[in-house]
Structure 1
């Protein structure tokens, strides 16, 4: 073990092991460092415990005995997720997943956070593990904007509650930005229910489970339809059809990484 660590460090080539683990989506860089210190990482069969260790593209890396597959480049995609699709790489119940929608992508990418089964809209997928960790970590406060359809009209007191914070079972939410939206049509099957639907746009920076739906249920306006239209600096727009995806531009990736200090 000592010989291997000395050899790769003295040569000075390759990339730091913790960075490679983070880019492979194994963990954040800080967590990857702890994995190394805990002796859970091997390179070419040798247990590694030095944070300065560098690895090359031909080295075989394992964490807890599982092979880590490195990517020579990072890839970023924006998916317009449909409803009735799981935000996961697999589902034991056999339901379609967001990865199923991207079968022709030549590399493995992972969703950044999640959208509920019944929620549609903007979802980022990437193999950039460090960016994923930061985008999901609450300390970076990445904003997400949702378009929300509810049975209206929504009273001013309810709007103020959303703006000030809603008491949920896991604590009060941070203040949300809430705006009424006009001129946005609802889906035909929603209109056919004969109810007046009001459309709101809500921006939050937290990432609690089913947060938007729980907030509106608590104030007495259950969500009929929910769509995410913005994530950080990314906008869904109208050009990407439901179930389709596109590659993020260099400028979009740069802005996204800049927002979380990368």
Structure 2
């Protein structure tokens, strides 16, 4: 049976399909000893695949973790500048794990880690509209007008209009002149929430992602992680099935 190369890489648990495409275009993938550097190539699912000259062995068991990422940790597996990465927190796991999507270096909170490339692909893909909730510590007293602007929609990246599914003021601290606001989005452009707050004239001081769909990090200490239950994984895959059934 033949499948697209990036799909087979994801199925073998190396990375997401999107990241696999980047590796292919960078000329870092070989199939049966031949470099493949363009997308769309179909290969046999039992073909020998090498990434960075190391053979890719299929991982039979799938792992899913919810990680409470600290600030100043990169959502990547390696960093040439030797800064802390999410991989540093999973050294005791015997399987190669990769992050599902990204969380900015200076943002803390909920991040999924897995070796299931197809799972990562649909959770990351904007068309499936996976909801993510954030708490933002902001300077000053955020007004109802500013909150309403987030709900009505703001323009980021010059001409892209985006809006929060929900947004509310959680708390205003008079003494420190700081507000905490909560907002939920179903998109994920680079620095998406930060850009939304700038567009609403809100000065962000610190950002934390608290929830990915039904998964909350309230019970996961900072810098720690837990396995997803079978039910939680099924719930996420259920969102994928719901989307497919509407088509």
TM-score where L is the length of structure 2: 0.80
From 85, 91, 95, give the equivalent of 2:79.
91
- SS in structure 2 at match of 1:114: coil
Q: Is the 8 A contact 1:213 1:222 kept in 2?
A: no
Contact 1:152 1:198 in 2 (8 A): yes
Is the radius of gyration larger for structure 1 or structure 2? 1
Structure 2 gap ranges (5+): none
Structure 2 residue 212 is the aligned partner of structure 1 residue 245: no
CA deviation after TM superposition for structure 1 residue 245, in Å: 0.7
State the match for 2:110 in structure 1.
122
Contact 1:149/1:197, CA 8 A, preserved across alignment: yes
CA 1:208–1:52: 2 relative to 1, 3 Å: closer
Rounded to whole Å, the distance in 2 between the matches of 1:75 and 1:167 is 38
Aligned residue among 162, 179, 185 for 2:168: 179
Task: Write out aligned runs for 1:9-88 (5 A).
Answer: 20-23=8-11, 24-28=13-17, 42-43=31-32, 53-55=44-46, 60-62=48-50, 66-88=54-76
Residues 147, 226 of structure 1: 8 Å contact kept:
yes
| Superposition RMSD in Å | 3.0
Greater per-residue strand proportion:
2
List alignment gaps of at least 5 residues for structure 1: 1-8, 10-14
* Contact 2:66–2:227 (CA under 8 A) maintained in structure 1: yes
Per the alignment, do residues 90 and 142 of structure 1 end up closer, same or farther by CA in structure 2, a change over 3 Å counting? Answer: same
Kindly indicate whether the alpha-carbon contact (under 8 Å) linking 2:155 and 2:162 is maintained by their aligned counterparts in 1: no
* Cα deviation, residue 42, structure 1: 2.9
Shift of 1:211: 1.4
Tell me the SS of whatever aligns to 1:132. helix
Output the CA distance in 2 between the equivalents of 1:256 and 1:129: 14
Q: CA deviation at 1:16?
A: 6.7
